[in-house]
């Protein structure tokens, strides 16, 4: 091999590894755009405002809970309880509407914060593993929600609350606005504050973080409280969209979608990194997969199989960065 050839081949392999690592980091964007283009060509009536508006409205609750789950995963934890916290917030909302909608919304958010406080205390102070602490909340939380609602569906007709799910501002659906604001706030917290640095440091190495004098327990507590708040917000939006509080069904299995969105979006389960935009993209990708299958009259169950394959491929690709 001549030196020239060798140089060429080296630069070529450099190119290839650069492309590979770019795809690894941005795989979720590539997949989303590819699926979008596929839909624009194949799916009838896909390129309409209504389609995209629906996609964004449907993905809003998933985005909200995914943000909290992303924070928890960033600390090398997890929050399985988000769906049940949604149900709890949804159950409490109509009970306090008699005192006016601000009180009802406040109570619903408070319930989410308290659930997060319980999760966070167990994780930060008692030393229970996050998966178990939030598993107990997943099981018990929904039971509690159903007890408070007597297992019934309660109609919510307060116009101010309904506006959160069905209203529009400058033509943009309210749930989308709520989700975008939440993404901006959490993105700011993660990327621009010391709290965000602590989250990543704890996920990277909890002992080292503690020995560096970081407020580990306070940060963990705060992470689970924020996750609880976001889940409660998602519960409020979902309730408003439905026009009813339905604690038996609201947010069921959403923790799986959220974990999928976070992981596909490039946040490693081993913690130490949080990708907010990737998480949003991950959520959009999952929703787009469902939309694609439904819009083309394909059996929805195969969408699940397809999503599973996406998860495996995404995580396999990320593995190269020591992230799996």
| Cβ 135 to other proteins shortest distance, Å | 6
| The only residue of 36, 95, 117, 144 in contact with other proteins, by rule CB under 8 A | 144
Q: Which is nearer to other proteins, 71 or 124 (CB)?
A: 124
Counting contacts by CB under 8 A, is residue 163 touching other proteins?
no
Q: Which two tokens stand for residue 183?
A: 């993404």
The Cα–Cα gap between 239 and 177 comes to 16
DSSP 323: -
Q: How far is the CB of 33 from other proteins (least distance, A)?
A: 22
Number of residues that bind other proteins (CB under 8 A): 51
Q: What track of x and - describes contact with other proteins for positions 197 through 216 (by CB under 8 A)?
A: ---------xx-xx-----x
137 near other proteins (CB under 8 A): yes
Tokens of 122: 């167990």
Between residues 10 and 131, which has the closer beta carbon with respect to other proteins? 131
The full DSSP string for 19-40 is HHHHHHHHHHHHHHHHHHHHHH
Tell me the H-state helices in the chain: 3-42, 49-74, 82-95, 101-121, 130-148, 159-166, 174-192, 194-204, 206-211, 216-242, 254-264, 276-295, 300-318
Distance between CA atoms of residues 175 and 165, nearest Å: 6
Q: Which is nearer to other proteins, 232 or 262 (CB)?
A: 262
CA distance 197 to 192: 8
Q: Are 276 and 186 in contact (CB under 8 A)?
A: yes
Least separation in angstroms between CB 80 and other proteins: 8
Kindly tell me which residue out of 169, 184, 309, 321 binds other proteins, with binding defined by CB under 8 A. Answer: 309
Pairwise CA distance, residues 70 & 275, whole Å: 8
- Site for other proteins (CB under 8 A): which residue of 8, 52, 302, 321? 302
Alpha-carbon span 70 to 78, nearest angstrom: 8
Q: Quote the least distance from Cβ 46 to other proteins, whole Å.
A: 23
User: Residue 79 half-sphere exposure, CB side, CA atoms within 13 Å?
Assistant: 41
**Interface with other proteins, residue 219, by CB under 8 A:** no
- Does 139 bind other proteins (CB under 8 A)? Our answer is yes
Does residue 162 bind other proteins (CB under 8 A)? no
| Closer to other proteins by Cβ: residue 160 or 256 | 256
Site for other proteins in 231-270 (CB under 8 A): 256, 259-260, 263, 269-270
Q: Does position 151 bind other proteins by CB under 8 A?
A: yes
Binders of other proteins among residues 66 to 105 (CB under 8 A) are 78
| 3-state SS assignment for residue 321 | helix
Altogether, the residues listed in the chain come to a count of: 324
- Give the interface with other proteins as residue ranges (CB under 8 A): 78, 122, 124-129, 131-133, 135-144, 146-147, 151, 206-207, 209-210, 216-217, 256, 259-260, 263, 269-270, 299, 301-305, 307-309, 311-312, 315-316, 319, 324
């Amino acid at each position: 091999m001549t030196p020239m050839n060798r140089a060429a081949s080296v630069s070529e392999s450099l190119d290839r590894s650069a492309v590979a690592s770019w795809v690894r980091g941005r795989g979720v964007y590539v997949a989303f755009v590819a699926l979008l283009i596929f839909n624009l060509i194949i799916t009838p009536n896909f390129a309409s405002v209504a389609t995209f508006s629906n996609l964004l409205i449907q993905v809003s609750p998933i985005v909200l809970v995914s943000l909290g789950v992303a924070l928890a995963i960033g600390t090398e934890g997890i929050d399985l309880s988000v769906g049940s916290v949604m149900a709890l917030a949804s159950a409490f909302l109509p009970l306090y509407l008699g005192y006016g909608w601000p009180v009802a919304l406040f109570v619903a958010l408070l319930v989410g914060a308290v659930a997060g406080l319980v999760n966070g205390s167990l994780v930060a102070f008692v030393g229970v593993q996050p998966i178990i602490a939030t598993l107990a909340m997943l099981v018990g939380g929904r039971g509690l929600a159903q007890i408070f609602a007597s297992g019934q569906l309660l109609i919510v007709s307060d116009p101010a609350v309904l506006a959160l799910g069905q209203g529009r501002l400058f033509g943009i659906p309210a749930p989308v606005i709520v989700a975008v604001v939440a993404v901006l706030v959490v993105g700011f917290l993660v990327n621009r504050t010391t709290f965000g640095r602590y989250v990543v440091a704890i996920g990277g190495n909890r002992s080292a973080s503690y020995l560096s004098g970081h407020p580990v327990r306070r940060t963990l507590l705060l992470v689970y409280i924020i996750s609880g708040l976001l889940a409660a917000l998602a519960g409020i939006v979902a309730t408003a969209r439905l026009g009813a509080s339905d604690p038996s069904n609201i947010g069921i299995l959403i923790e799986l979608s959220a974990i999928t969105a976070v992981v596909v979006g490039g946040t490693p389960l081993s913690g130490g990194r949080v990708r907010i935009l990737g998480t949003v993209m991950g959520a959009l990708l999952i929703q787009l997969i469902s939309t694609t299958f439904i819009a083309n009259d394909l059996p929805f169950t195969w969408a699940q199989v397809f999503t599973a394959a996406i998860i495996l491929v995404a995580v396999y690709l990320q593995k190269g960065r020591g992230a799996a």
